[in-house]
Amino acid sequence: MIKDITIGQYLPGDSFVHKLDPRVKILLSFLYIVLIFLVNNYYGYLVIMIFTFLVILAAKIPIKYLFNGIKGVIWLILFTALLNATLTPGKVVYKLFNFIPFTDKGLDLAAFMSLRLILLIVGTSILTLTTSPILLTDGIERLLNPFKRVGVPAHELAMMMTIALRFIPTLLDETDKIMKAQMARGADFETGGIIKKAKSLVPVLVPLFISAFRRADDLALAMEARCYRGGENRTRLKQLKVTSRDYIAILFFIVFSIICIMSRRW
């Protein structure tokens, strides 16, 4: 389940979405997240789901592979839905174990929050799956360049964010290997209560942190060996350019945004 998480992974391809300028994809992804929180009814979420499905088809990403990424956070989604369904005031429509109440407004809010989390995970996964780490770094740096005038280290921030995204699947894969190694030695991560399961994760966290620090040290040595000195006077093999393809994507997104905003009145 851990290795199924798709955030931070990159799938090489030559689709329409892969060829978009990374700056355009980052900005549209940010606006996509804003629209998810702006929509206030199921009609709007239906529009967002149709738009997301069309983007997945345009990116030529296997739908099964993309939605496998939800497995890693399914318990978080269910826990959030349970809290909203039971703690939101309203008319009680069902009682679990005769003492945990589910309210009508709570169930409605639980469905809303679950849809939001799923769409957020899928949307951010599409960005990283269709954008290489190098292009993602260049795109973030270009977007942060105007803030250099007020002392914001644009290149360093872009590099840190990209490295963090890049190492998410690496650390998840390392966690999976450590857990399998500990299970081969007799460790039990499945049985027992929450406290016992939390204690059983200690043998996993300690080697995971050691491995993460070792990887960070190796990365720093590799960057220093290649004479990395930050973004000053740095040249790029591929210059970012906004093409007609990007304008088509922006126009399509504007139409989608207008429909989402109009859906608030439906």
Per-residue pLDDT tens digits for 155-207: 778 878 778 777 777 787 888 888 888 888 877 777 766 677 777 777 888 88
> Domain residue spans in the chain?
1-131+239-266, 154-234
- The DSSP call for residue 96 is E
pLDDT at 142 (0 to 100): 84
- Closest alpha carbon to 244 in 18, 17, 23, 20: 20
DSSP state of 92: E
262 phi, psi to nearest 5 deg:
-65, -30
- Helix (H) / strand (E) containing 121: helix 104-129
Task: Yes or no: say if 263 and 41 are a contact pair by the CB < 8 Å rule.
Answer: yes
List, for residues 206-253, the tens digit of each pLDDT value: 888 888 888 888 888 988 888 777 666 666 667 788 889 999 999 999
Q: In Å, what is the CA distance from 252 to each residue of 42, 70, 111, 225?
A: 21, 27, 28, 45
Over residues 136-145, the pLDDT tens digits come to 888 888 888 8
Separation in Å, CA 258 to CA 31, 122, 132, 216? 12, 21, 30, 44
